[in-house]
Chain A
């Protein structure tokens, strides 16, 4: 009997995968919506190209992290039908696990006084 993979087994995530999952954390979105959310979340630092976006979406669909929702127009854009995606339970667990991992790293950086404008211990 094959043991299903645990969320931790997928860590660390690539930056593209993490940002896409993060963008979907508060609701389903279509491709361009995901792209815009990632730009907003990263203060413009990360701009996914269409190839990176859908290459990552394809792998996440295959891994069961996200699923297709439906196809419908976005009233804020135009009448064209767009494919929407949403997190699965596994995807939810994976993005939470990655967020936890990053949080622990940030805590470690704070403990070494690398954040908040204070000097690192070795500089004292």
Chain B
């Protein structure tokens, strides 16, 4: 068990790499020390299952706080400071970067994975990116009818593009029914909030229209 505890600590130390460099240098050793203390006490009181629960809690803590620290770093960059000077929420810059990364990941997967999995990832990434873009526009300080219309078009395009991308969309849909449900679920998860046509039922309606149009082609 001592070996497993030591391996667990080593794993935690290696996961600290997801934090920004400066933060990791300053607080990494302290975080590892606290984790060691927590693990030791948990193992004494609750055994292996307790340590497993500790890891679940710690993994969530790692992901959430590493993201927060990276965002804090982003706000100190040139882009973050420029957005703040322009009185634009720096989150938009972060979201745009994430959107671009999602689309790039989808395109790369499609390029290298020829099977339907590549199409699914590309379709899902376009959908998520479309929802993120629509969310950015909807939460912008200035809301005009034109902007709302643009965000609606982006959403709809996000649902249609994965199908249009395929050479034979009807056949793709028939051969990959699970893909439809996964894309719909991803659309639900990444929906922006606010307008009625952003609500979950709308995602299903759009998905149903998407499927119907594709099957009728």
Proximity bits, B9-52, A CB within 8 Å = 1, else 0: 00000000001000100110011111101100000000000000
- Please tell me if the beta carbons of B62 and A55 are within 8 angstroms of each other in the complex: no
- Please tell me if the beta carbons of B30 and A49 are within 8 angstroms of each other in the complex: no
- Please tell me if the beta carbons of B38 and A35 are within 8 angstroms of each other in the complex: yes
B82: Cβ under 8 A from any A Cβ: no
| Bound CA–CA A48/B197 (angstroms) | 38
Contacts of A32 in B (CB 8 A): 33-34, 37-38
- Please tell me if the beta carbons of B30 and A54 are within 8 angstroms of each other in the complex: yes
Say how far A32's CB is from chain B's closest CB, in angstroms: 4
Which residues of B does A touch, CB under 8 Å?
Answer: 19, 23, 26-27, 30-35, 37-38, 57-58, 60-62, 64-66, 68-69
Apart from the given pairs A50-B35, A51-B66, A58-B27, 17 other A-B contacts in the complex at a CB distance below 8 Å: A31-B30, A32-B34, A32-B38, A35-B38, A49-B58, A50-B32, A50-B38, A50-B58, A51-B61, A53-B31, A54-B27, A54-B30, A54-B34, A55-B68, A55-B69, A58-B26, A83-B30
Provide 14 A-B residue pairs closer than 8 Å at the C-beta atoms, listed in order of the A residue. A31-B30, A49-B58, A49-B60, A49-B62, A49-B65, A50-B31, A50-B58, A51-B65, A51-B66, A52-B61, A52-B64, A54-B31, A57-B27, A58-B23
